[in-house]
Chain A
Amino acid sequence: MRGTDVTAGTDTTATTGTTEGAGTTRTTPPAGTTVPARPTAAAPGDTAAPHPRRRHWRAGVLRGGIELRHLLRNPKELSGHLVNVVVALVLAGYLSDKVPGTQVPMAHLTLSGFAAYLLFQIGLVNLPQILVTEREEGALLRLRATPGGIPAYLVAKSLLVVAMAFGTLVLLLGTAALLVDGPLPHGPGGWLTLLWVSVLGLLAVVPLGAAIGAVLPNPREALALIMLPVMTLLITSGAMFPLSALPEMVQKIASVFPLKWMAQGLRSALLPDAARAAEPAGSWELPTVALILTAWAVLGFLLAIPLLRRAARRESGSRLAERHRKASLSGGRGV
């Protein structure tokens, strides 16, 4: 039953696809390319094809939608995401004390921190894992061999990440507000802060995650390599409890990384102003939040573009086969 509606869906997209294509932009092949006459089989229909770039965007958007649907229909993977939300809710339900020096419930601070951490995790754990897995299976190679495949892949992955982030935030904050009296932004200013901190936070971690996904060896090692630093940052960034409880040295190191600032920015959006008292600086430091997250975003893009390009360029059938051979060897030894 799962299958029926999916195919029905793709069938419709296919039909709309071709009719759209036949009616819209009329273009000749890009200037400068020497395209000899196509074989006769391909000739009818030569009249109107959508512009290549448009076609690639469209393919990317369609791909993002399909990937999201697969995620939502995969109970195993979906539960991996949901379990985080459940843990946050349970934790928030048990916390009954206040943030030291304020009347703000500790649960609100923890839920804000969880929201930041989940964005962080989507960018730096989920995304690299997806990239490494798809690299290893050959999806990246297939897209490289397909005209416009790599741009479409990037579009699809961006959409998927945004959808995952948005879905997670809505689910976490929504269920928390309903079930455990969780925090919600106060007034339009608070919503606006929530929006820009989330967007900037994603921009800070997603390119970085893409860069990591482009260099990590294989899905099995990848998870181990990623989780240790991520967990360390989770503990040291003040996302779960006030940063001031940690040694100053640890605070300084943690404040280099984006998670601390994402959490701080989300606290400013979700907690009342009085909660500032618990911040090490005594204020939300929003300009610093913006600055540091932007710096990470720039760094991430600078790293991700050449690394992704390199990863795509290095894909070939023999390298893929070699990785599979190694994987089966190590798998055999492990078992």
Chain B
Amino acid sequence: MTTTDHQPADQAVTTPAPTGSPAPQPVIRVRDLRMSYGGAHVLHGIDLDIHRGEIVALLGPNGAGKTTTVEILEGFRQRSAGEVAVLGTDPARGDDAWRARIGLVLQSWRDHRRWQVAELLTHFATYYPQPRDPAELLALVGLTEQARQQVDRLSGGQRRRLDVALAIVGRPELLFLDEPTTGFDPEARRDFHDLVERLARDEGVTILLTTHDLAEAERLADRIAMLVNGRIRAHGTPSELARRAAAQAEVRWTAPDGTARRERTEDPSQLVWELHQETGGPVADLEVRRPTLEDTYLHMVHRDAGDGTGTTDASEAGASDGEKRAA
């Protein structure tokens, strides 16, 4: 029911399926999702489509509404308004059969401490109709050596990998990762990223990842949705977002009188050409800086911190998509 009544307007704010894969029904489909607690509005109309096999990062600063969004999708929170379908079902009415198709990794889990790793995984396999083999799964997440270890003696990275194993033991089609690498050392983070990539590539699991770590989003995600103050401010592949950011490059140089100058421009090449003509020779300390994804992100976060109620976002999001389709 949710897929048939596509309104033309929706097309403007959602991305097309990745090329080559016929995805008639997105794994996650969100339209105009709103959430308010008391009088406070936390989500101001989120639109999001996630297709089978995609890794999508929901990126945003703390308090942007990432957790609220994901908890609504997980069926743990009632939304105020809007339309949500996860695997074709409204999460608010998700039953056990629906639950069995979803896996969850939360950063705050520290349960079952007294259990042994293999014991816990074997036990959770019994809840699912077609579980994976626990021993194979331990090998997949790199915990074979820890199989007999007690859960509370695992390191942070090992614990999170066990959480992933527990989340995928029932062969879910969709996996939610909630800031999974918070507090990890670089090596643990890299191992975890490799694991997530393997899951998406080899197992075709669709993954929705929330993070406030831009590098993580860039490394893992096929698409990034930037959530700021309860709105999706930008939406696209990492390179698309970076290209959008490049619209405003910064040119720095030192003028003949010795003062440092900087100028933002849409066309840095033109500006540099003009500078050369003005000085009639080399331009001192010339530097052209194309903003990184990080700059775009910080720019959005800060601009939003100033005024919460911009109306530009819809057109912006539309524009980004327009670009994409044009390309």
Contact = CB atoms under 8 A, between A and B. Distances in A.
Interface of A: 3-4, 6-7, 10-11, 13-14, 17-18, 29-30, 33-36, 38-42, 45-46, 49-50, 52, 55-56, 58-59, 62-63, 66, 70, 74, 134, 137-139, 141-142, 144-149, 152, 315-318, 320-321, 324
Contacts of A10: 116, 118-119, 122-123
B112 A139 contact: yes
B9 interface: no
A56 B127 contact: yes
A4 B126 CA distance: 21
Interface string B122-152: 1111111111001000000000000111000
Contact of B99 (A50, A55, A147): A147
Interface in B140-184: 147-149, 166, 170-171, 173, 178
A142 B111 contact: yes
Interface stretch (B101-109, B286-294, B307-315, B316-324): B101-109
Contact of A138 (B110, B116, B204): B110
Nearest to A323: B108
Given A52-B129, A59-B126, A317-B74, 20 more contacts: A11-B122, A14-B125, A18-B131, A36-B88, A39-B171, A41-B203, A50-B129, A55-B129, A59-B123, A59-B127, A63-B123, A74-B114, A134-B111, A137-B112, A145-B74, A146-B170, A316-B76, A317-B106, A318-B71, A320-B106
A33 B100 CA distance: 13
Interface centre among B89, B119, B178 (most CB of A within 10 A): B119
A190 to B, nearest CB: 39
B113 interface: yes
Contact of A66 (B98, B123, B125): B123
A138 B130 contact: no
Contacts of B204: 39-41
Contact of A141 (B109, B122, B149, B203): B109
23 contacts: A7-B116, A14-B134, A18-B131, A29-B97, A33-B95, A42-B130, A49-B130, A52-B96, A58-B126, A59-B123, A134-B111, A138-B106, A146-B170, A147-B97, A147-B128, A147-B170, A149-B127, A315-B76, A317-B70, A317-B106, A320-B106, A324-B108, A324-B110
A29 to B, nearest CB: 6
A91 B173 CA distance: 60
A26 to B, nearest CB: 12
B77 interface: yes
Contacts of A17: 125-126
Given A7-B147, A138-B106, A145-B104, A317 B116 contact: no
Where chain A touches its partner, the secondary structure class is helix
B67 interface: yes
Given A7-B118, A14-B134, A138 B76 contact: no
Contacts of B88: 34, 36
B253 interface: no
Interface of B: 25, 67-68, 70-71, 74, 76-77, 87-89, 95-102, 104, 106-116, 118-119, 122-131, 134, 147-149, 166, 170-171, 173, 178, 203-204
Contacts of B128: 147
Given A6-B119, A316-B76, A146 B124 contact: yes
Contacts of A7: 116, 118-119, 147-148
Nearest to B147: A7
Most buried by A among B77, B104, B122, B171: B122
Contacts of A152: 127
Contacts of A145: 74, 99, 102, 104
Closest A-B pairs by Cβ, 6 of them:
A139-B111, A49-B129, A147-B96, A316-B76, A317-B106, A321-B108
Contacts of B102: 145
Contacts of A134: 111
A147 B125 CA distance: 11
A63 to B, nearest CB: 6
Contacts of A321: 107-108
Contacts of B125: 14, 17
A146 B99 contact: yes
A137 B110 contact: yes
A17 B126 CA distance: 7
B106 to A, nearest CB: 4
Nearest to B206: A39
A253 to B, nearest CB: 39
A6 B126 contact: no
A6 B118 CA distance: 10
B178 A317 contact: yes
Contact of A33 (B97, B104, B118, B178): B97
Contacts of A39: 171, 173, 204
